[in-house]
A = this chain, B = another copy of it.
Amino acid sequence: MEISKLGAFGLRDHIIEGLEETCHASTLLGLTDDAALVAPTSGEQQLVASQLLLEGIHFDLVYFPLQYLGFKAVTSAVAEIIGMGGTPRQLTLSLGLSQRFKVEDVDVLMLGVKDALALYNIDLVGLEVSSSYTGLTIAVTALGSVAIGEELRRSGAKKNDLLCLTGNVGAAYMGLQLLIREKVAFDGTADFAPQFDGREYILQRQMKPIARLDILRQLQATGIKPTAMISVRDGLASDLLQLCHASGVGARIYEKAIPIDHETVGMADELGLSPTLVGMNGGDDFELLFTIPLGLKDLVDAMEDVRQIGFITEAEDGVRLVSSGGSETTIVAQGYHREEEEDE
């Protein structure tokens, strides 16, 4: 069905009809008024993070299904709340839709959005639908809450703190390369079947990344308060540099300690890329990088899906990667922003 059949107001009503009731006590007023009204619980403060996803820049619909895009858009904003140690609670969503999108396309996109709302247990409190001349635009803002004084900033890392990383890195980037390769292959032949067998994990990491609320809950349950934390989004190297810069410290990370999945290694090998470089510079990981005082080492050792990848040094010692052979290389950001950064 053409969106013009419903109109912008009608499409908005259509989307809202398919949504669950709001779930949080803190959501006082959702989609029905000029603005949404939320009430942080007593003793909590409010976090806010916005993300803009543009067709052709942040996603390519030739190989990225709309449903997964809806999910990933929510993850992208929610991950920033979690990266501050906060619990995500509400989301606003604005869509710009060009004429090639039908109501059914929006329904598919919203399936992914709703999937993510349910997974992260958050309420959609703002929804704006607009036409667009230029493809699909998605703007999301996530609100979250954090107990007073419990926010995890980038700036608290201290010398001798341990550097910890959740999950593994580089998988989403290899998933993207696989999608791009199969897209190129697809462009060439008529009866083409994409070769995704044995690559399900890296595809899933690219297409349906899940922000690590589970790790935050584990940290809280164990009583571990990181001295600094950052959401790994642009790439481990880039985000490590951000954390070190904000904290005024240096760092050493061990090449062999960087967690990289075997599918990531396999795909990197196939493409003639160094798995370490892929792990350091791949984007869209949505993992957490955090630092803890040395005294909490045993507690972190007992955590699932967390690896100690290095330690914090004084700023003068720089931010360096220690190779398996023992040599050290200064870490330079080469993630998402590689092209721009080369000029810096």
Contact = CB atoms under 8 A, between A and B. Distances in A.
B49 A344 contact: no
Contact of A92 (B35, B50, B144): B50
B35 A83 contact: yes
Given A83-B35, A131-B57, A151-B29, A52 B7 contact: no
Contacts of A337: 7-9
Nearest to A7: B340
A4 B141 contact: no
A34 to B, nearest CB: 4
A35 B341 contact: no
A343 B142 CA distance: 34
A4 B154 CA distance: 26
A36 B79 CA distance: 13
Interface in A1-37: 4-10, 28-29, 32-37
A180 interface: no
A36 B93 CA distance: 18
A137 to B, nearest CB: 6
A90 interface: yes
A128 interface: yes
A194 interface: no
B46 A39 contact: yes
Given A54-B137, A130-B58, A35 B9 contact: no
Given A46-B46, A94-B50, A128-B51, A341 B9 contact: yes
Complex A-B, nearest 3 residue pairs according to Cβ-Cβ distance, in ascending order: A7-B340, A134-B134, A139-B139
